[in-house]
Structure 1
Amino acid sequence: MITVKAPGKLYIAGEYAVLEPGHPAIIVALDRFITVSVSEATLQGTINSRQYAETDFHWRRSGDQMIFDNRDNPYHYILEAIRVVETLALEMGRPLKIYDLDINSQLEDQGGRKYGLGSSAAVTVATVKALCQFYELPLSRMDFFKLAAIAHFNVQGNGSLGDIAASVFGGWIAYSTFDKDWLRTVLQTNTFGEILASEWPGLKIELLHVPNELELLIGWTGSPASTSRLVDKITIAKFAEHEQYQHFLAESQKCVQKMINGIRNHHLPIVKAEIRHNRQLIKDLGFFSGVTIETPALQELCRIAEDCGGAAKSSGAGGGDCGIVLTDHTVDQARLISAWNQQQITTLPLSVFQLTEASV
């Protein structure tokens, strides 16, 4: 049996602007994981998930095709990850096999509500890594990113794929997305091997080393949000409010780049100041686009954190889910957490996950 895990993620800064090539975001990988196990089977394969225990998913082969009943299928990201890896495996001369996949996730609460930690990205990355090991495909981390990004993009159709990068590389990363139109074109004309070997236009992934005194607190509002739907709404505003949207992009790029430089130079006051600046930019985006990004619960989360001396903002697409706070020794975390509890904001006991060779 082969078992791999992939971490969840949270955005620190640069949301929405990161959808455009050349506009950076800062993302962290977190120590909550999706685990995927693969074991060879014979006549029939299965996909099992503790999160979908009521779904009995069986499949078989007809030639190189997977045959299954698509009704009530919750495994779209997994199946696309399988398709992408197996296409590459065939290109590399590997015979396809039948196997069982077992999935377990730590990215939801006990009731199955998602925390907004990028579960679809993590399960895509974990499935890609597990099957690449299963088929003995000698790939680099960047190859894992590219394969998982292709699979995720094929299902979702939008997004920056920064959550894929965080899940593959771990730690703190600065990320700029690639040209999606280029990817759509080469997927129609090139082999996966050729696409993996290509330089992806606009793609940048840089590992960041944060100041030792910086600490990250994460609050969960208990209200899940749909990233793809929020992104679709912002895309409408991109064209309807073109001038304001272009101003937002330019200001976000300057803000996040200052933050990246502050992290590189271990200058925490700059990092905290730009977190606050980025929060305002995203609130402005929500206002002129008519999209509720910072919900009342997220606004209260940030108010409490700022009153305690932290630098806070919503994380990711907003509309619910999580907010983040950057703190240091000047912040009374106990008072902050107590105030959050009084407002039914849950402090998630998470740490940044640093990838090591042993965890690849």
Structure 2
Amino acid sequence: MISVDVPGKLYIAGEYAVLEPGGAAVLVAVDRYLTVRLRPGTASTRTVTTARTGARPVEMIRRGTETVPAVDDPAIVAALRHVSTAVELIERYAIERGDDLLGFDLEIVSDLDHQSSGRKFGLGSSGAVTVGVIRTLAQAYRFPLDDDALLRLALLTAFAVDPRCSGGDVAASLLGGWISYRSPDRTAVAAMFAGTGVRITDLIEAPWPLLSAHRIPAPRAVCLEVGWSGRPAVSSGLVERLQRAVDDDSTGYSSTGYGHFVGASNACVATLVSALESGDDASAVAAVAAAGALLRAVSSLAGVVVETAELATLRRVAESLGAVAKSSGAGGGDCGIALIDAADAEQLQEEWRAVGIVPLELQVHQSEGLQVKGHSHDDRFAGLR
């Protein structure tokens, strides 16, 4: 059996702006995991079992060049989009290499959501399942793929399912630790992907315009605390509403204003990355504060609620203790983060609880030895168990 544990993610800075070509963000991988287990099956049968599809396995079948669930239930088909797309791309790559297709039974178990209610924390389940299936099947086929190629293969999967996503969650779940990420030109990637006779081999080996992803140091003198608002968010809806506001001149929020926001956000992220790499915690904290202020300003101008009342309370409580805090991700619910002196972390958790914010005792998932390209993999993801 092959078993792969994939960490969830949280955004530190760069939300929304990272959706633009070359948009930058900083994320962290956290120690809540999605696990993908693979058992060998017969050569002609591939099944998937997840909590979203019930207890019984769902068979995956090929229809022409596509891989799809062999069910008529639209909800199950939708729930398995990332899985089926990952399987399809892996099998296309296997065929290109001249490999026989494998039969397998995949089981996917997630600890990324609230265990009793099933409500989402916002830790990036779609990115984690994409990375998990890609890594697991790449191991099963014994593909000689470095981490740069695995990242591109996982991003191809994510973009095929949702062309609007940034891919930052994929990079964080694949690389671990604190991550500096720059979004590729997805239009250019889509054009490459749609070309006549396109080969997966070429797509994962060729450079992608603007794409960058690498690990960076964590802050040295402050710690990261995470609070859950108790309200799940649907990030795709928030992104669509903000984009409509940007495109609608009647709101008074022009594309020029949005371009200013993207530029300012990218500058904040650049400052944050530089500060972390040089060990300048004070500048890093100031950059996170500026990123939070930018998010609140752009959401106010566009009429999109990023910082809900619960997240505003989370931030103000943290600020009263001298910390810097902001919403994490698209907002509208889910989590907020705080950078605070370790000596004050316990008090922050207590005060959050008093106002209905749930502290999530998360640690940063470290993947020692896992690099973007040409180095050894983390043992956590390394092989058969």
What interval of TM-score do these two structures reach, taking the shorter chain for normalisation? over 0.9
Q: Is the 8 A contact 1:51 1:112 kept in 2?
A: no
Between stretches 292-301 and 258-267, larger displacement belongs to 258-267
Q: Is the 8 A contact 2:171 2:213 kept in 1?
A: yes
Q: Is the 8 A contact 1:36 1:104 kept in 2?
A: yes
Of 180, 195, 203, the residue aligned with 1:195 is 203
Is 1:303 matched up with 2:307? no
Separation in 2, partners of 1:272, 1:138: 40
Of 249, 252, 259, the residue aligned with 2:262 is 249
Q: Is the 8 A contact 1:227 1:317 kept in 2?
A: yes
Of 130, 135, 153, the residue aligned with 2:136 is 130
Amino acid at match of 1:358: D
Of 144, 154, 157, the residue aligned with 2:163 is 157
Separation in 2, partners of 1:9, 1:168: 10
Change (3 A) 1:349 1:171: same
> 1:358 corresponds to which residue?
379
> 2:374 corresponds to which residue?
none
3-state SS of the aligned residue for 2:293? helix
TM-score by length of 2: 0.89
Separation in 1, partners of 2:289, 2:63: 55
CA drift at 1:113 = 1.1
Q: Is the 8 A contact 2:183 2:212 kept in 1?
A: yes
Deviation per CA, 1:61-84: give whole Å up to 9, x if none: 689865611413121111111111
TM-score by length of 1: 0.95
Between stretches 265-274 and 292-301, larger displacement belongs to 265-274
> 2:237 corresponds to which residue?
229
Of 333, 337, 343, the residue aligned with 2:349 is 337
Between stretches 304-313 and 70-79, larger displacement belongs to 70-79
Gaps of 5+ in 2: 249-253, 369-377
Between stretches 20-29 and 214-223, larger displacement belongs to 20-29
Of 69, 91, 94, the residue aligned with 2:71 is 69
Deviation per CA, 1:292-337: give whole Å up to 9, x if none: 00000000000001101111000000010000001124x5222211
> 2:100 corresponds to which residue?
95
Of 84, 88, 94, the residue aligned with 2:89 is 84
Separation in 2, partners of 1:78, 1:345: 33
3-state SS of the aligned residue for 1:340? helix
> 1:121 corresponds to which residue?
127
Amino acid at match of 1:88: Y
> 1:6 corresponds to which residue?
6
Provide the alpha-carbon RMSD of the alignment: 1.7
Separation in 2, partners of 1:60, 1:27: 35
Separation in 2, partners of 1:59, 1:180: 28
